[in-house]
Amino acid sequence: MEINEKEIGPITVLYIDGNLVGKDLEILSNKFEDLLKQKRDKLVINLEKVDIMDSLSVDVIDNAIQNGLKIRLVHFPSRLLNYIHHFKVNKEITIYNQEKDAVQSLIEEIKSSSKLENDRRQDPRVSISLSAAIIIKDDLNDIIFPNALTRNISTSGAWIEYADVSEVYDFKTLFSLGIRDGRILELYLETSKRKAINVDDKKDNLQIECNILRVNQGNDFLGIGLKFREELKLTRFLSIL
């Protein structure tokens, strides 16, 4: 197997020629590690000239994503799509037919990240730890993901973390509804005085409608960035804690 590459600004395009099985996977894995060390974390992988590719190669790519690489695939074998759909529930592997479209998607992500960082500077966050849960509203029964803690909150959003990923049930539902479908969720916060903010004061706790903005998963934690649908009255919120 041979790996060639070119750089398009902050994006690296890898062209793989040959097979992606056996020892070739170790070469690809080492390549990913080298790129991470160089902080070149935005990749497009062109698989047009790959003759043989198996499910283990998908695992190598998925592990690289979990380690922090942002990867887009081009000319991915259709026979392996079912493997992704059935087993890759924690990270979405994004596939494109054309290299230019894959590159453009990363460019748009870079622009979005820059805008998010700028918004953060204008919307300072307050570090605070509160018991939290994500609730997906359903016609029959609400789906609840409990046992989270807030790390910080601003008027426009919050960052929460699950310290024990094993306790977060049904990741597939959370990711498919929260991220792919863009479903409106509710962030549930338990305040020390059990009063509600921005909602009916008769309720015991705070529930805020929001969308999942981004996700960061490590070996032993899951972090979720949330964007509030309505601005939180942060001063009032802090005054009753």
* CATH number for domain 2-118, candidates 3.30.70.2200, 3.40.50.2300, 3.40.1410.10, 3.30.750.24: 3.30.750.24
pLDDT recorded at residue 142: 76
Write out the DSSP string of 76-117: --GGGHHHHHHH--SSPPEEESSHHHHHHHHHHHHHHHHHHH
Let me know: does 74 contact 47? Beta carbons within 8 Å.
yes
> Is the pTM value of this prediction over 0.75?
no
Greater confidence (37 vs 207) lies with 37
For the residues of 180-241, what is the DSSP string, one character each? IS---EEEEEE-TT---SSS-TTSSSEEEEEEEEEEEE-SS-EEEEEEESS---HHHHHHT-
The pLDDT assigned to 13 comes to: 96
Q: What is the mean pLDDT of residues 170-196?
A: 62
Taking the C-alpha atoms of residue 88 and residue 153, their distance in angstroms, rounded to an integer, is 30
Q: Closest Cα to residue 52, out of 86, 84, 17?
A: 17
- If one compares 147 and 104, the residue with the highest pLDDT of the two is 104
pLDDT in tens, 62-100: 888 888 889 999 988 776 666 555 544 444 578 899 999
Instruction: Give the residue with greater pLDDT, 222 vs 154.
Output: 154
| pLDDT score at 90 | 43
Q: Please provide the average confidence, as pLDDT, over all residues in the chain.
A: 77
Residue ranges per structural domain of the chain: 2-118, 123-239
- Superfamily of segment(s) 123-239: predicted glycosyltransferase like domains (2.40.10.220)
Instruction: Give the pLDDT confidence of 186-198 residue by residue, as tens digits.
Output: 888 876 544 333 4
pLDDT on residue 15: 96
